[in-house]
Amino acid sequence: MSADSAPINLTNHFLIAMPGLSDELFGRSVVYMCEHSDRGALGLVINKPSDILLPRLFEKVDLPLGRADLMQAPVFQGGPVQTERGFVLHDAIEAGAEGESVYASTMTIPGGLEMTTSKDVLEAMASGAGPRRVFVTLGYASWGKGQLESEITENSWLTVEADPELIFDTPVEQRYEKAMGLLGLQPWMLSPDAGHA
């Protein structure tokens, strides 16, 4: 395999929907990529809030929300797969004594954050603890083997290395433009019509 045909790895990157992508969920979306390998890809849409706030989600799992800082935080639509299941994206937590994750089911994202799917992270938040910065979604986005690469070739997505500040500290309505800004672009600069020479 030559160097120029090496597979791309978009783990810890943002996928930014091209302005011409008119899909209801993915139009104007920014996706944080949690995993990308030759088997496929998994990510969370970071700029599509649902109409559910975190306290309501905690009620549904019979937990109080013990964090005043999260009382007005929306639950996001992370993608079309497993929309009844919660995903918590958060800052990396110091590992336990054996080097294992603090939570039962956590994916450590190389160079980035952690994503936890087990209820114990919610239990920590219920007691007023847990990760300092959290982003909660219902559902996730996934692509099969070669599917994401194909969509990128078809000019559906732009890619840029992820910036956690955009996920945790940028107002939702500014995330798409700010993600474009990481590439030095504004949405109006890009025509929805891809040109091929």
CB 133, CB 91: distance < 8 Å: yes
Q: Which amino acid is at 195?
A: G
* pLDDT of res. 154: 93
Close Cβ partners of 74 (under 8 Å, ≥ 6 residues apart): 49, 50, 51, 52, 53, 54, 172
Looking at residue 88, the DSSP 8-state letter turns out to be E
Reported as type and span, the H/E element at residue 137 is strand 134-144
CB 126, CB 63: distance < 8 Å: yes
Decide if pLDDT at 128 tops 70. yes
* pLDDT of res. 193: 55
* pLDDT of res. 93: 81
pLDDT one-digit tens code per residue, 14-24: 999 998 888 88
Mean pLDDT of 48-67: 95
SS3 183: coil
Decide if pLDDT at 134 tops 50. yes
User: Who wins on pLDDT, 197 or 150?
Assistant: 150
Close Cβ partners of 87 (under 8 Å, ≥ 6 residues apart): 44, 78, 115, 116, 117, 136, 137, 138, 139, 140
**Percent of the chain predicted with pLDDT > 90:** 77
DSSP calls for 3-60: GGGPPP--TTEEEEE-TT---TTTTT-EEEEEEEETTEEEEEESS-EEEEEHHHHHHH
* pLDDT of res. 2: 39
- To the nearest whole number, what is the mean pLDDT of the chain? 90
CB 109, CB 12: distance < 8 Å: yes
Residue 36: C-alpha distances to residues 54, 156, 175 (Å): 28, 17, 22
* pLDDT of res. 51: 95
Mean pLDDT of 60-71: 94
Q: How confident is the model at residue 1 (pLDDT cuts 50, 70, 90)?
A: very low
